[in-house]
Amino acid sequence: MRVLGIETSCDETAAAVVRDGRIIESNVVASQADLHRRFGGVVPELASRKHIERLLPVIDDALEQAGVALRDLDAVAVTYGPGLVGALAVGVAAAKSLALSLDLPLIGVNHLEGHIYAAFLTAPDLPFPALALVVSGAHTDLVGMPDHGQYHVLGRTRDDAAGEAFDKIARAMGLGYPGGPEIDRLARVGDPRAVPLPAPMAFRRSSGRADDSLEFSFSGLKTAALRTLHAAAAGDGQFKANLAAGVQRVVVDVLVAKTMRAARSLGVKTVIVVGGVAANTLLRAEGARACAAAGYRLVVPPPPLCTDNAAMIAAAGYYRFSRGYRSDLGLGAYSDLPLEPTPNDSSP
């Protein structure tokens, strides 16, 4: 079964052709990072307009690179939330038109479910139960997954997402957008212990004992990093490298510690780490070390499948289709969308 995936939830215009939820025939991503860089973050109206310009050429590229025509498709899967509603609407409208004109099933996919299914492109037969850490520019969610399509959100961030904290701190440091990859690069030449920073929600403030909640909070770290930055001598390159290394260390420590705690409490076999921040070098290394020590299988997709792409949407769409889900042509676009249950779903 050949699924066309479409993703326009934020600032990447993406289309992909995936067979049977596991074979990537093409995966085209047109990033708008250059457009938004000078504003230091995504400007929603500009993102929507760029999606309108680029989506059809990107779909054409995806078909051409896969060596297929529209008539070779068996279904169209599209991200319909969560994300920027105007940006999502472009992908949803295109997917509905294709489904209607080609008489193909339409499958709405939750963006977070898409991120999780990047893991099944990497390891289609990973053993359940699994735990997924979805860590991106908008989310820091720990999700228990007893089987395909079953999700229990165990914890999430109370304020900033991990990627958002990286982006905001990087911006204040005068680094490029998006900030996560810049911090990753700069951290390599920094000393992670040189700048004192708070460990976010790793310890209970009252007792000093380990915090056993599965919630995250990164805004305190962000504030501390910004305060340290403003107090420091401007233009000190080594200080910036140390700060980047320190921020990365603190974020990765808390992500890994809480993921391991959740994995233990669920008794999982597999730990999945996905979303843009899963491209982070230190998170990948520390995740591998912790999972090896605890005996969990770790699945972290290669970086291009961690950041936003449409292959993950096509894969998630394939599995949704296999479970009997179809979306009707009333499919909307939603800035907020829970993993389950989802609106506009119908089972035949």
CB atoms within 10 A of CB 39: 10
Peptide bond into 178 cis (omega under 30): yes
Residue 15's beta-bridge partner residues?
A: 6, 28
Residue 81 in the binding site for ligand KG4 (CB under 6 A):
no
Site string for Zn ion, 129-158 (x = CB under 5 A): -------x----------------------
Provide the 3-class DSSP secondary structure of residue 155. strand
CA distance 255 to 153: 15
Of 345, 313, 332, give the one whose Cα is nearest residue 75: 313
Residues in 81-140 at the binding interface with Zn ion, rule: CB under 5 A = 136
Residue 7 in the binding site for Zn ion (CB under 5 A):
no
CA distance 83 to 81: 5
Radius of gyration of the chain from its Cα atoms, rounded to whole angstroms? 20
CA distance 230 to 36: 25
Binding ligand KG4 by CB under 6 A: which of 16, 138, 197, 256? 138
Binding ligand KG4 by CB under 6 A: which of 108, 144, 155, 180? 180
Tokens 């310009």, located at residue: 53
Tokens matching residue 212:
């056993």
Q: Is the distance from CB of 140 to CB of 155 less than 8 angstroms?
A: no
Residue 15 in the binding site for ligand KG4 (CB under 6 A):
no
CA distance 296 to 293: 8
What residue 190 binds from Zn ion, ligand KG4, none (CB within 5 to 8 A, per partner kind)?
none
Burial group, residue 158, by CB count within 10 angstroms (0-12, 13-18, 19+): middle
Provide the 3-class DSSP secondary structure of residue 271. strand
What residue 91 binds from ligand KG4, Zn ion, none (CB within 5 to 8 A, per partner kind)?
none
CA distance 308 to 177: 15
How many Cα atoms occupy the beta-carbon half-sphere of 299 within 13 Å?
25
Site string for ligand KG4, 36-75 (x = CB under 6 A): ----------------------------------------
Residue 21 in the binding site for ligand KG4 (CB under 6 A):
no
Site string for Zn ion, 256-295 (x = CB under 5 A): ----------------------------------------
Order the strands of the 326-327 sheet from edge to edge.
Answer: 23-31, 12-19, 2-7, 75-81, 106-110, 326-327, 345-346
Binding ligand KG4 by CB under 6 A: which of 279, 310, 311, 316? 279
Tokens matching residue 185:
């690069």
Tokens matching residue 193:
């212990």
What residue 192 binds from Zn ion, ligand KG4, none (CB within 5 to 8 A, per partner kind)?
none
Count of residues that bind Zn ion according to CB under 5 A:
2
What residue 178 binds from ligand KG4, Zn ion, none (CB within 5 to 8 A, per partner kind)?
ligand KG4
Residue 307 in the binding site for ligand KG4 (CB under 6 A):
yes
Residues in 311-330 at the binding interface with ligand KG4, rule: CB under 6 A = none
Residue 160 in the binding site for ligand KG4 (CB under 6 A):
no
Residue 277 in the binding site for ligand KG4 (CB under 6 A):
yes
Binding ligand KG4 by CB under 6 A: which of 8, 122, 136, 327? 136
Binding ligand KG4 by CB under 6 A: which of 7, 184, 211, 286? 184
What residue 157 binds from ligand KG4, Zn ion, none (CB within 5 to 8 A, per partner kind)?
none
Residue 108 in the binding site for ligand KG4 (CB under 6 A):
no
Binding Zn ion by CB under 5 A: which of 66, 173, 308, 333? 308
Positions in the binding site for ligand KG4 (CB under 6 A): 10, 136-138, 163, 166-167, 178-181, 184, 275-277, 279-280, 307-308
Residues at the site binding Zn ion, with contacts judged by CB under 5 A: 136, 308
